[in-house]
Amino acid sequence: MSKIKPSKGAPYARILGVGGYRPTRVVPNEVILETIDSSDEWIRSRSGIETRHWANDEETVAAMSVEASGKAIADAGITAEQIGAVVVSTVSHFKQTPAVATEIADKLGTNKAAAFDISAGCAGFGYGLTLAKGMVVEGSAEYVLVIGVERLSDLTDLEDRATAFLFGDGAGAVVVGPSKEPAIGPTVWGSEGDKSETIKQTVPWTDYRDGEVAKFPAITQEGQAVFRWAVFEMAKVAKEALDAAGLTSAELDVFIPHQANERIIDSMVKTLKLPESVTVARDVRTTGNTSAASIPLAMERLLATGEAKSGDTALVIGFGAGLVYAATVVTLP
């Protein structure tokens, strides 16, 4: 018989607050067209993207995260000292160690919160949310800060016609805390490493360091393969998440998919047969693809504009490089 005492966590967990930060510089498609042979009409028709935000030198991964997190903490009605863990999902923090989460935790004024980074691409927010839920229910932290943040402009090849127009920068954050009723459903997540070549970094950092390539590494992808996978396979995952939460599409209020491409979003809505009453996040139009930041940024905007409201039931799904994915149903803060 084990002598270990049982954990004293909350019965359930929920998102208590959300915050976002978008860099001040807005970049229209016309700027992208200076380096690729395309057109504004082609970019809009293929992706839905009209503008994106690019960070300046001061808008670092840490700085953007602190801004978004401060808003989320205030929205949750708690103080930074109450945060017990900080989970940061990013692929664009260029220091291998220490984790940027430790810097963020310190700058926010947490009381020595546990802090670590995860690398799960565009599914990173879902991964972080799942970890946070587990910590709150298990009892290792009463409040967990989950951040999705990217400076993908640093990893964009502006001469790559397939990707130059896609990526933007920004940070989104949520506070996860105790709940008396279920408010974050079971997560349906996984990976398909046999497809890892479809979205990847062009070359390892060591190739650039050793002079084997002259061009700084960037993100590249096989657009058609990614599109087919996202449309057909991720709609199935989204349906599984609804089933796991015991809901039908008719009971859903909001759909917040990863903001990769508006055509993918439209196809998923059609495949899932979502009613017209369901609010669909389309933040991609003015924010672009911000990878791990896209879902919390889209959530924050829907609540700020009144398109979604506190207490709404939302299906969120992220998917991307790996290939990895994560989907769950949440109650909006």
Could you list the active site residues? 122, 258, 289
- Dihedrals phi, psi of 258, to nearest 5 degrees: -55, 135
- C-beta of residue 148 within 8 angstroms of C-beta of residue 171: yes
Residues sharing a CB contact under 8 Å with residue 243, sequence separation 6 or more, in sequence order = none
| Cα 326 from Cα 184, distance rounded (Å) | 13
Structure tokens belonging to residue 118: 């995860």
Closest CA to 133 of 7, 271, 12, 298: 12
List of E strands, the chain: 12-21, 25-28, 51-54, 83-89, 114-118, 143-151, 169-179, 188-191, 199-201, 219-221, 254-257, 279-280, 313-320, 324-331
Phi first, then psi: give them for residue 115, nearest 5 degrees.
-150, 130
Q: How far is 258 from 198, CA to CA, in rounded Å?
A: 17
**Residue for token digits 């978008």?**
22
- The alpha carbons of the chain give a radius of gyration, in whole angstroms, of 19
104 to 35, 135, 332: CA distances (angstroms):
35, 19, 24
